[in-house]
Structure 1
Amino acid sequence: MTWCDLWKDKLSRDCSYQGLYSCTVVLITGANRGIGLELVRQITETQKPLSKVFACCRDPDGPKAQALKALAEKHPDVIMVIRMDVADPKSIQQAALQVGSSTTEQMTSTFNTNVIGPMVVIQEFLPHLRAAAKVHGKPGMSCRKAAVINVSTLGSSIELAKEQYVQFKLLPYRTSKAALNMLSVCASVDLQKDEVLCVLLHPGWVRTDMGGPNAELDVQESVQGMLKVMESMSEKHTGALLDYCGHTIPW
């Protein structure tokens, strides 16, 4: 079995929990009561990862939508209540425009968090990184000297995307992490002259709010693995994408 076969086997195990909700974006009509409301509640509270639930009903401000509004207030980052009357074509068109606008905003927001944010952090802390590397005095690179460690994901791999995407869509997350990979590789080249290490780490499938309760690792196991890998890093690892066990992930 080749390393690629091993990765494909790992992907099938890591992504098997996704099931019906692998799309991560759900639109529900009649969401203000009965089965529709309960679908919103259960999908929001039990399905991970989940980026957005569009909960549609005829009158979001009416008395029959109070339970839905309360649920949306409890999960403001996930549930978006949208006015839509399924008997009115114009209302449906307006709802579709609102959903499209929201998904564009989500892509922008995710890139701001996963790409722009790390870029600015590196830029602003670069003088401190250079100073730390200089004070250390010894040649070479290591986390004990000066390092930038960006958290990426197996889902950022373009080479593995065809096998992964059906089970783990999360388009804004995947594309932003792929961009983070490029940012980090470019930074590793720029920081090489200062002997500042720059590496990407995939923490594994972890039982967090995003990873869900069925993930294979708890947070402690993931962090222990990453710290062990970080301890062993040297200049030969700069610009690499590794998992929490130290295995190289293909771009």
Structure 2
Amino acid sequence: MAAVKACNILITGANRGLGLETVKQLAEDSCPKRYIFATCRDPDGSKSEVLRELAKKHPSVITIIRLDADDPCSIKESAKKVGSLLGNNGLNLLVNNAGIVAKGTIRTSSVEGMKNTFNTNVIGPLLIIKEYLPYLQTAAKASGTPGMSANKAAVINISTVGGSISTMPSLYEQFPVLPYCVSKAGFNMLTVLAAEELKADEILCMALHPGWVKTELGGEKAPLEPKESVEGMLHVIGSLTEKQHGGFLDYTGKTIPCVKESAKKVRSLLGNSGLNLLVNNAAEMGSSNIQTSNVEDMKNTFNTNV
């Protein structure tokens, strides 16, 4: 199995599910780590008890940091704290794992639900990449090796097949989670555009689908245990090169399409009555990148365009 040899790693949403299992496996890995920054919204709360116990078992490696993906100030403060601990060392691996699921369809989705999901699943990761970028750049420059890898400097976005425009239509009836899917489609686009920006710094950026996993978000019907999913993802992460930069893979290493690759046969559902044509043309465009985007502009653009 390919090992994750990165010295300094940060994982968001680390107090439960996949994030917690990722921290556990990295801490128990044979490859030594200098820092595993395990971040979560409420480090002192009851939902973080298991993470605190894990940190006690690995006190020299695991550092718990408060980071709320919904709170820009929290993200900034977390970056300052991590920076003070890293010193002149960079951050080799950033795993954007924190996220929320909101159920809903065209008929039942609310404005508030859409905004909250987008805020956590897209704006949060964007701001996290933005604040931690200087530390990733430091790691990339210090490596002295050409090319890209997760052991040098990388952003790994934990996404979902639900954000694949090509795949999700066939799964929608089984998983009616429109706000979540729309936000993850945006998250996948963020991954692609961040990859475009970060390639000059030789910082690898890609998205991973963990599979359908038995977690608080995935539910009990899911076929995969967190241990199996994380083992697979860490193997994929340890094997990444510039060939996967900007890509979208699942926990087995299989490529997931993000857009339709072929047209599907149109089925007539309306019969002789109903709405014949709806053209959603109104839109708003903002001009910014990873380093200049702000919360208000992101929210306004999403509100108008989605």
Supply the AA of the counterpart residue of 2:165: I
Q: Kindly indicate whether the alpha-carbon contact (under 8 Å) linking 2:161 and 2:168 is maintained by their aligned counterparts in 1.
A: no
Match among 213, 220, 234 for residue 213 of structure 1: 220
The residue number in structure 2 matching 1:244 is 251
Match among 141, 147, 159 for residue 154 of structure 2: 147
How do residues 1-150 of structure 1 correspond to structure 2 at under 5 angstroms? 51=102, 103-150=110-157
Structure 1 length as normaliser, TM-score? 0.60
Partners of 1:186 and 1:51 in 2: CA distance: 25
Specify the SS of the correspondent of 1:121: helix
Partners of 1:238 and 1:51 in 2: CA distance: 29
Query: Would the alpha carbon gap of residues 234 and 245 (structure 1) be closer, same or farther in structure 2, given more than 3 Å must change?
Result: same
Supply the AA of the counterpart residue of 1:134: K
Partners of 1:162 and 1:184 in 2: CA distance: 21
What is the total number of aligned residue pairs between the two structures?
A: 157
The residue number in structure 2 matching 1:168 is 175
| Structure 2 unaligned spans of 5+ | 1-99, 259-306
The residue number in structure 2 matching 1:159 is 166
Partners of 2:204 and 2:173 in 1: CA distance: 34
| Moved segments of 4+, more than 3 Å | 49-53
Residue identity (%): 54
Structure 2 length as normaliser, TM-score? 0.49
Partners of 1:205 and 1:159 in 2: CA distance: 17
Supply the AA of the counterpart residue of 1:110: T
Partners of 2:141 and 2:238 in 1: CA distance: 20
Partners of 2:188 and 2:101 in 1: CA distance: 23
Partners of 2:103 and 2:250 in 1: CA distance: 28
Partners of 2:237 and 2:174 in 1: CA distance: 30
Q: Could you give the per-residue CA deviations for residues 18-41 of structure 1, whole angstroms, max 9, x where no partner exists? A: xxxxxxxxxxxxxxxxxxxxxxxx
Shift of 1:52: 6.2
Query: Would the alpha carbon gap of residues 179 and 52 (structure 1) be closer, same or farther in structure 2, given more than 3 Å must change?
Result: closer
Instruction: Give the helix-richer structure, 1 or 2.
Output: 1
The residue number in structure 2 matching 1:196 is 203
Q: Kindly indicate whether the alpha-carbon contact (under 8 Å) linking 2:103 and 2:180 is maintained by their aligned counterparts in 1.
A: no
Shift of 1:165: 1.3
Specify the SS of the correspondent of 1:186: helix
Query: Would the alpha carbon gap of residues 167 and 120 (structure 1) be closer, same or farther in structure 2, given more than 3 Å must change?
Result: same
